[in-house]
Each structure stands twice: as C-alpha cells, then as structure tokens.
Structure 1
Amino acid sequence: MMDEFGMTADEVKSRMKSGDELFFVNFRHHQDWDLAVMKVRGALRVPDDRLEQHLSEIPRDLPIIVYSTCPGDEPVLRAAQFLHQNGWSDVHFLIGGFNKYCEGGLPVEEVGEGSTSKKLRGL
C-alpha cells in the first residue's frame, strides 16, 4: 500500500523538470506549527488535526504531494490515503519528507508573514 502513494524527491524533481504542476500540502503536527521557517514553495500549510477543514483549498485537478518535517512517513501516508478515499485521484506522500526534498535542491520559501516563528542563530 505504501508504494502506491509514495513518491521520492527524485520523482518530484523529474516531474517538475518535465513541466508538471504539482500541489504540495505541508502537513504539520499542530504542536509544531510555529517552529517552521521554511516550506516547499507554494505549499499549503495544514495542521495535522485540521485536514478536513482545508479540503476546499486542495485542488482535485493537480497531483497532490503531502509532506511533513516529522521523522517517519506514517502520518503523511495516512493523510494521502484520507485524500484518496475522499475523491483525490492523484495523491502521494513525499518519501523522506521535507529533508529529502531539500537534499534534492528543490525550491523552498520562507513560511512568510503571520508566522510567529523565528530563525535560530548559532545552532
């Protein structure tokens, strides 16, 4: 079941290079919400306890890539399965999460205005 939904950073990179438009969902644990300073460029940030409240913001006509910064892929696998069960046909989770995405040199952006997070210096 995991292979059906999983996508590697290399696969994401290949799809981006071929011009595919992908939609990213940054699935974050609700207690870690303010710790993020970076995300995938253009990603929708969704707390893990509020996915259902954000369904209208997730397009149905684009490939959806769900990712997180947490270790392990189980939470994003469950989120991808939930979206698939609720009508999204092309939905995946990013294997290895945000770290693997960054290691692949893929585009990121700062979380942006409204965030109470601060960059830690000297660590």
Structure 2
Amino acid sequence: MRGGPRRRCLMKYGFEISAAEVKARMNAGEQLFFVNLRHHQDWDLAVMQVRGALRIDDDKVEAHLEEIPRERTVVVYSTCPGDEPSARVARLLQEHGWKDAHSLIGGFEAYCQEGLPVEEIGEGSSVRKIMML
C-alpha cells in the first residue's frame, strides 16, 4: 500500500505533519527545509527558531518562493495559536508545484517539545538575559 497507514494518520489533510514525524525523518537523515512563518508585527518578539529555518513574513511569502527548495521536504511552522497560517502557506506551496510541503501540527511549540534543534535569532540572547533578570 503506497504511503502506508503510518503516513495517513500523521497527515490529516495531506499537507499536515506531526513533530514526531519530523523527528523521525530527521533521525533517519532526511534533510528537511523549514519555513518560520511570522506575522509581520511579531518579529520583535521572536528569540528562537528551528535551526536553519527561513524566516518569512506571513504577508510576503510569494516574494520568497525562489528561496524555498522544491527537491526537499518543506515544513512550514508558526508560533500562532492554531495552525491556520502555516496550513495556508503549505497549501500555497503545493498550488505552486511543491510536491512535499507540510504544515507542522502544533507549530514551534510542538517542535520544541520533541527536543529538536533550535537557534537564537537576532537579539535573542540579549532579550532572554533581560527577561531572566
């Protein structure tokens, strides 16, 4: 059976992927490409992201399509409650010809709960130090 039952239960609508599946693919050596989707007014609040992720404003995705590889699995995530923005962008990518684009179920929080690699961005280390004082 093509795709198998494991794949069907992890991707509810054909474009969603769980953090557990992301972890399994990374542990198997697959090179995933992450898109860190943010509302354009939320950048100042961002201190962490998936290691190596491409940061894109949610209203400027189409201007960055050339930066997103077509030959790799693309995982779009956000910190927004619910997964609507990342699901919308995953669908957009599929409509533009990406065959393996997915929205991360649970977003950045779910990714972090799996213990996957992150990196500080921008002024992240300074902001975190100030917040801890």
> Same fold, TM exceeding 0.5?
yes
The count of aligned residue pairs is 121
1:18-40 deviation per Cα after TM superposition (whole angstroms, max 9, x unaligned) = 00000000000111012100000
Q: Which amino acid aligns with 1:16?
A: M
Q: Residues 30-45 of structure 1: matches in 2 within 5 Å?
A: 30-45=40-55
**3-state SS of 2:99 partner:** coil
Superposed CA offset, 1:71-100 (max 9, x none): 101111010000000011100010000000
Q: Is the 8 A contact 1:37 1:110 kept in 2?
A: yes
CA contact (8 A) 1:10 1:104 kept: yes
Corresponding residue of 2:26: 16
Of Structure 1 and Structure 2, which has the larger fraction of its residues in helix? 2
Instruction: Give the CA deviation at 1:122.
Output: 3.6
**Aligned AA for 1:42?**
G
The one-letter amino acid paired with 2:112 is C
Q: Distance in 2 between matches of 1:27 and 1:10?
A: 20
Query: Deviation of residue 111 (structure 1)?
Result: 1.0
1:75 matched residue in structure 2: 85
CA separation in 2, counterparts of 1:84 and 1:42? 22
Are the counterparts in 2 of residues 39 and 111 from structure 1 also a CA contact under 8 Å? yes
CA contact (8 A) 1:2 1:77 kept: no
**Gap change, CA 1:78 and 1:62, over 3 Å in 2:** same
Where structure 2 has 5 or more consecutive residues not aligned to the other structure, the ranges are: 1-10
1:121, distance to aligned residue in structure 2 (A): 1.4
What TM-score results when the alignment is normalised by the length of structure 1?
A: 0.92
In 2: Cα distance, 1:84 partner to 1:39 partner: 23
SS at match of 1:102: helix
- Structure 2 letter corresponding to 1:37: V
Q: CA deviation at 1:2?
A: 4.9
List 4+ stretches of structure 1 deviating above 2 A: 117-120
TM-score norm. by structure 2 comes to 0.85
Unmatched segments (≥5 aa) in structure 1: none
Larger Rg belongs to = 2
CA distance in 2, matches of 1:58, 1:77: 16
**3-state DSSP class of the match of 1:15?**
helix
